[in-house]
Amino acid sequence: MREKLVTDFDITSVEEVAKVDYILLAGNEPPWQQTKIVITRGQQYTLLAEGQINWSTEDASLYGGPGFHLWARIPGGEIENVTRGTGTFVADVSGTIEVGIYYGLWSNLKGDLKSPTSLYQNLTGELSVTLICWERDPKLGLKKLKALSQFKKSLLLEVASKQLEQPKATPSGWQYLKEAGVSDIYSHVADSERNRIILNSLNDQGIIRKKLEFPVTQSTYLNWDWKLIEHPSCIREDRAKSHDYVSVAAEFDNGRDLTWIWSSQLDEGHYFDCPVRSWKDRETHYVVRKGDQSKNWLSESRNLFEDVKISMGFEPQIITAIWLIGVSTFQHAQASAEFSRIFLKDKNKILQVL
């Protein structure tokens, strides 16, 4: 049964609530769909959603939920995505809130699609969305809604409230690659053992990016330590339906990136273009470890110039960012790993990344 905040009770009677709208989004409808909510810059709104979008009529395991597909925007402002079925956002411009199903690749953070809308034609399923525009403090408003007898069992309200009460901070100095979606799967720990970033993703995905500038020569190396606790795939990751993986990546000034992955099945030294159609021309994967897991810290040192030239066919000039990647949305599994001691090294200098 869908969990929508639709009852005989009018939730706008809660004084913190300004307006509410209910939207049903079909999978085969490209973004954007206009809602009934007009909002003012600085005002806050919350999305609560459930349902699923099916990517295949032949394989029921291929689907995504709201955390994968649901995005919102106010035209002229930046796109936002929900996490775990919900999210609360601050309007960055004034206007009418729009919501939509994301599938493919954005061309910019305003919500224009880079990939063709024809990708949507074979999608089925739908997302049921409740949109609350707040008059004042959403923390208090959600608390009041949760206390009502009609909504005491609402998991979505519980998650939305927890996101505001106990926000998960993105590791300092890193930012989510927003076009791939913002999540809460990374955390930063610095203790007597080591300074590290922890990945913990259950049927989720996210890329965090540390912006930098490092010229590449034939003697440039990328070094890092990592520990794989749980691999999100037990089959080869070079196919779109099983492309769940953990990796470290370098982004270059031509807009492309190379990721060094820990594969469960593929042999070390194997490389392949991303099997997800919309990422194929942007991203290449290079296998540097094989096996389901190793709960011990292991160290890597890769000659960046050579790896890029071999696997991508060009000579890299400048590294513009380092990425950490965790994907577990295709097989809906768990990805758990830790990263530490990431640095770039050349003959004349060392740049500590983590």
- What is the longest distance spanned by two Cα atoms in the chain? 70
116 with 197, same domain: the answer is no
- Inform me whether the pLDDT recorded for 7 exceeds 60: no
Rounded Cα distance, 349 and 235, in Å:
39
Residue from 338, 325, 354 nearest 228 by CA? 338
What is the model's pLDDT at position 292? 74
Q: Peptide bond preceding 32: is omega within 30 degrees of 0, i.e. cis? A: yes
7 or 162: which leads in pLDDT: 162
198 with 274, same domain: the answer is yes
Task: Please compute the mean of the pLDDT values over residues 49-78 and round it to a whole number.
Answer: 95
Task: Please compute the mean of the pLDDT values over residues 227-250 and round it to a whole number.
Answer: 95
Asked, for residue 4, whether it belongs to a domain, the answer is no
What is the model's pLDDT at position 336? 96
- Inform me whether the pLDDT recorded for 288 exceeds 80: yes
184 with 271, same domain: the answer is yes
Task: Please compute the mean of the pLDDT values over residues 13-37 and round it to a whole number.
Answer: 94
Task: Please compute the mean of the pLDDT values over residues 320-331 and round it to a whole number.
Answer: 97
Asked, for residue 3, whether it belongs to a domain, the answer is no
What is the model's pLDDT at position 5? 52
DSSP-derived secondary structure letter, 316: -
DSSP-derived secondary structure letter, 68: H
- Which of 131, 165, 199 marks a domain boundary? 165
What is the model's pLDDT at position 2? 43
203 or 294: which leads in pLDDT: 203
The mean pLDDT value of the chain amounts to 93
What is the model's pLDDT at position 193? 83
Strand partners, 259: 249, 285
What is the model's pLDDT at position 348? 84
DSSP-derived secondary structure letter, 168: P
Q: Which runs of E-coded beta strand occur in 152-282?
A: 175-176, 186-190, 195-202, 205-215, 221-230, 245-252, 257-263, 271-273
- Inform me whether the pLDDT recorded for 232 exceeds 50: yes
Strand partners, 272: 285
* Angle between helix 155-165 and helix 138-147 axes, rounded to 10 deg: 150
200 with 346, same domain: the answer is yes
What is the model's pLDDT at position 1? 31
- The percent of residues in the chain predicted with pLDDT above 70, rounded, is 96
72 with 186, same domain: the answer is no
Q: Are 85 and 51 in contact (CB under 8 A)?
A: no
Amino acid identity, position 327: V
254 with 201, same domain: the answer is yes
Amino acid identity, position 69: H
Rounded Cα distance, 137 and 143, in Å:
10
126 with 184, same domain: the answer is no
Q: Are 249 and 319 in contact (CB under 8 A)?
A: no
Asked, for residue 74, whether it belongs to a domain, the answer is yes
Task: Domain of residue 272: give its range.
Answer: 175-352
Rounded Cα distance, 173 and 291, in Å:
31
123 with 194, same domain: the answer is no
- Per residue in 86-139, pLDDT (tens digit) is 999 999 999 999 999 999 889 999 999 998 999 999 999 999 999 999 999 999
- Inform me whether the pLDDT recorded for 214 exceeds 70: yes
156 with 196, same domain: the answer is no
- Which of 165, 199, 229 marks a domain boundary? 165
Q: Are 66 and 50 in contact (CB under 8 A)?
A: yes
The count of other CB atoms within 10 Å of the CB of residue 92 is 13
Phi and psi torsions of 162, nearest 5°: -65, -35
- Per residue in 334-351, pLDDT (tens digit) is 999 999 999 999 988 999
Rounded Cα distance, 203 and 63, in Å:
11
296 or 247: which leads in pLDDT: 247
